[in-house]
Amino acid sequence: MSGETLIELKQVSKVYRPKVKAAFSDAAPGVIAIEKLDLAFSKGEFSAIAGPSGSGKSTLLNLIGTIDAPTDGTIAFRGKTVTNLDENALADFRLHQLGFVFQAYNLIPVLTAAENVEYPLALQGVSRAERRARAIEALSWVGLDGLADRRPDLLSGGQQQRVAVARAIVHRPAVVLADEPTANLDSKTAASLLDMMLDLNKKHGITFIFSSHDPTVLSRARRVIHLQDGRLQ
């Protein structure tokens, strides 16, 4: 690990307000999901965000991943604030710097495993031949050699989540954000997925930040950040 700070959150809050007319919005109390959080992540980390349901784990990952905007505070990536970027700049930032793994796999059902993995590269404008080669390589890293041309509905849950991990790492992002990646998997498959992610972290230096409330999963993390009611414990 280099120790370089990749992501830094300063006084970040997220309040969900009910959708009411503007005249009443100030009066509506809202739900505090994240409250004045100061947090930093370094390059090469394999960190977990832990906490019970409703503690703000997913919200925090969404904020780091810039797919949701904080109500207050700033988030910086390699020292540059990203919370003030417009939608296109945020999309470009996610495309080049981040990879996502979701709880429900969220593969595109009409594309094969390789085509799903290729997609971030296609968005980057990488040539067809190169993206195919890199997708096959990424699938190989996650142990799915020979399954490149299968559609998601012909893969098991564990295999689908491995495809999702391959899709998240294929474009060499600075950070992979995984929201409860093992929640839908049995314990054996979950352990295998975690081992694979840890292996990618060690071998290829990919930074992982994932959320979970499963103690077995959390035990694999080098750093565990505990959240309770949107605050660090």
Partner 1 sequence: MLLLAWRNLWRNARRSLLTLASIACGVAAIMFGQSMIKTIQWQLIEKATGIITGHLRVQNKEVKELKFPEKNYGDLPKLEKILAGDPDIEAYEHRILLTGLVSGKNDSNGVLLCGVEPKRDPKVTTMSTYLAQGSWLKGDGKEIVMGDQLADALGAKLGESIVVLAQASDGSMGADNYKIVGLFHAGSQTFDKAIAFVPLAAFQETLAMEGRANDLVIKLRDPERLEEARSRLSAALAGEPLKVLTWREVDEEITGVQAYQNAILKIVLGIVFLIVALGILNTVFMSLFERVREFGILKAMGARPSFVLRLVLVESCMLGGLGGGLGVLTGVGLIAYYRQEGLPLPIGEAMSQFLPFDTILHLRFDWPTHQTAIAAVVVTSLLAALPPALRAAKLKPVDCLRHR
Which positions touch partner 1 (CB under 8 A)?
Answer: 62, 65, 67-68, 87-88, 91-96, 98, 100, 102, 106, 108-111, 115, 119-120, 122-124, 167
CA distances from 23 to 14, 19, 20, 27, 179 (A): 21, 11, 8, 8, 35
Residue 187 CB, shortest distance to partner 1, in Å, is 26
Select 37 or 98, whichever has its Cβ closest to partner 1: 98
Residue 124 CB, shortest distance to partner 1, in Å, is 8
Select 47 or 58, whichever has its Cβ closest to partner 1: 58
Residue 68 CB, shortest distance to partner 1, in Å, is 4
Residue 3 CB, shortest distance to partner 1, in Å, is 27
Select 128 or 204, whichever has its Cβ closest to partner 1: 128
Sheet holding 5-16, edge to edge: 31-42, 5-16, 72-77, 80-81
Select 1 or 89, whichever has its Cβ closest to partner 1: 89
Select 171 or 220, whichever has its Cβ closest to partner 1: 171
Residue 120 CB, shortest distance to partner 1, in Å, is 5
192 phi/psi in degrees, rounded to 5: -65, -40
Q: Annotate 193-213 with b (16+ C-beta within 10 A) or e (fewer).
A: bbebbeebbeeeebbbbbbbb
The packing angle between helices 157-169 and 128-141, to 10°, is 130
d(CA 103, CA 180): 5
